A and B are shown apart, each in its own frame.
Chain A
Amino acid sequence: DAKTTQPTSMDCAEGRAANLPCNHSTISGNEYVYWYRQIHSQGPQYIIHGLKNNETNEMASLIITEDRKSSTLILPHATLRDTAVYYCIVRVADRDDKIIFGKGTRLHILP
């Protein structure tokens, strides 16, 4: 079973920041938080990952709480092309490649 809990769906106005929450209260010390998104009928796209510190790249920012029991993915200026299902995943990233996907959050960007 997936070790994360995400809202089923969210709406965000175009041009605003989209903040997608994820709970992972049973995360272990050696587990990373990963985010992927899947645009309809395409393969999942890697967005960002982190262990303890907040991370930022050209796509998004990842904010991880100090106790690591939850995190938030931030898309700073959402566009219609950001409409997708967003998956939050926790995994031991330096071991095997198996990813256990949950149901994710379906993000709708509203014009």
Chain B
Amino acid sequence: KAGVTQTPRYLIKTRGQQVTLSCSPISGHRSVSWYQQTPGQGLQFLFEYFSETQRNKGNFPGRFSGRQFSNSRSEMNVSTLELGDSALYLCASSLAPSGGVKTQYFGPGTRLLVL
């Protein structure tokens, strides 16, 4: 079974631009979560989507947004990029069985550099 895939793997943008990152979950997984990893703050939760609905949100400004499509694929968008948005953005998917244990499996990440 293929793992979580993220595109693009690397991206360079300039301040003020916007960026869209894509995540395809493991086949059959319906829940997708996004994380930001920086050297200073470590791994931080951005948001979680299930059945096209945002189920949980971390403490990030409104410039960070996401969505999930009916095929469970997800995108996240960052508008008005700042230098501090340079980070590794990770996507994780889980099967989300009702009442069962949910284990997240991570993709390789998208490394974003903002100049």
* Pairwise interchain contact A97-B43, C-beta atoms closer than 8 A: no
Residue B42 interfacial (CB < 8 Å): yes
Majority SS of interface residues in chain A? loop
* Pairwise interchain contact B107-A43, C-beta atoms closer than 8 A: yes
Residue B104 interfacial (CB < 8 Å): yes
Return chain A residues, CB-CB under 8 Å to B109.
Answer: 41-43
Binds A, one of B12-20, B60-68, B93-101: B93-101
Q: Count of chain A residues with Cβ under 8 Å from any Cβ of B?
A: 22
* Pairwise interchain contact B88-A97, C-beta atoms closer than 8 A: no
* Pairwise interchain contact B33-A98, C-beta atoms closer than 8 A: yes
Return chain A residues, CB-CB under 8 Å to B108.
Answer: 42-43
Q: What is B's interface to A at a CB cutoff of 8 Å?
A: 4, 31, 33, 35, 42-45, 48, 50, 55-56, 58, 88, 90, 92, 94, 96, 99-109, 111
Q: What is A's interface to B at a CB cutoff of 8 Å?
A: 32, 34, 36, 41-46, 49, 87, 93-103
